[in-house]
Amino acid sequence: MSIEQTVVITGAAGRTGRALVPRLRRRGRALRLVDTSRAGLELDVEPRDVSWHDVSIEDADGMERVMHGASALVHLAGLSSERPWADLLRVNIDGTHTVLEAARRAGVRRVLLASSIHAVGFQPVGAAASTTPLLPRPDTYYGVSKAAMEALGSLYADRFGMSVVSARICTFLEEPGDGRAVAQWLSPDDMARLVEASVALDDGSHHLVWGVSANAPAWFSLEAGHAIGYRPLDDARAVSIERDGVVPPDPDPTAPLGAAFTDERHPVGGTW
């Protein structure tokens, strides 16, 4: 099989990575899976299709070796919830810098960064419908680390001409939950569609895009996603009606986007 595209996926054994990998495999594409543990990742490895790389995102030399000859980077690795500041700085901020620098040095021009709704957690729900990307208003140290990730993505696009998509991922689940999750759901299939749009992009710009499905409550503007070719198809409300036989209630539109993560039940620097 002739390999036309090689995509590096960091955090490939994480919850999002495990769902994405089988959806991204296709003829002519090689996947380089990067993580420090394969636990939970069930996949037949074929030499010219998928390769496994036990490399930490804190290992600059190791990451540059993985990036050599690659076409695109999907950066999912990092701490996925609130932690002490030093840990988030080391892994989410410094680690993202290490990964981006390795990609730059290896000539990788297309990048998706897994940011989070928590980068704008103190923004009101109503602001998410704006076609202008929201300024960072993080709700936790974790949210700060994702805002820093976005800033690094912007720098690497403007300074080095890389095409970078910072995806503000909302609620990534196999199936939608209830309450706020009806509005915030990102399905695995739509996440794969977002990755496909990002790794095809080559405009040397930074894009802030909501990582969300086409949910009927329509809290989030999809315009920025459409501009890069991301067109989500799944709808949490339709899935919920088919599954449960009832129309789920609309979530409270007056709450901050970060919901409970903006109050004292989730103090900064703690763990949850």
CATH of the domain at 40: 3.40.50.720
Domain annotation covers residue 183 = yes
Domain annotation covers residue 268 = no
Which residue segment(s) compose the domain that 101 sits in?
5-262
pLDDT at 249 over 90: no
Domain annotation covers residue 182 = yes
The pLDDT assigned to 136 comes to 98
Question: Is 141 considered catalytic here?
Answer: no
How do residues 190-206 score in pLDDT, each as one tens digit? 999 999 999 999 999 99
Domain annotation covers residue 216 = yes
- pTM of structure: 0.95
Provide the β-strand partners of residue 185.
Answer: 171
Q: How many structural domains are present in the chain?
A: 1
pLDDT at 45 over 60: no
The pLDDT assigned to 47 comes to 62
Domain annotation covers residue 269 = no
d(CA 134, CA 40): 35
DSSP 231: -
Q: Helix crossing, 141-160 with 94-106: angle to 10°?
A: 20
Candidates 225, 194, 226, 159; CA nearest to 72 is 194
The pLDDT assigned to 137 comes to 98
Domain annotation covers residue 272 = no
- The residue whose two tokens read 């700085």 is 89
Length of the chain measured in residues: 272
Domain annotation covers residue 197 = yes
Domain annotation covers residue 245 = yes
Contact of 120 with 133, CB cutoff 8 Å: no
DSSP 248: P
pLDDT at 105 over 70: yes
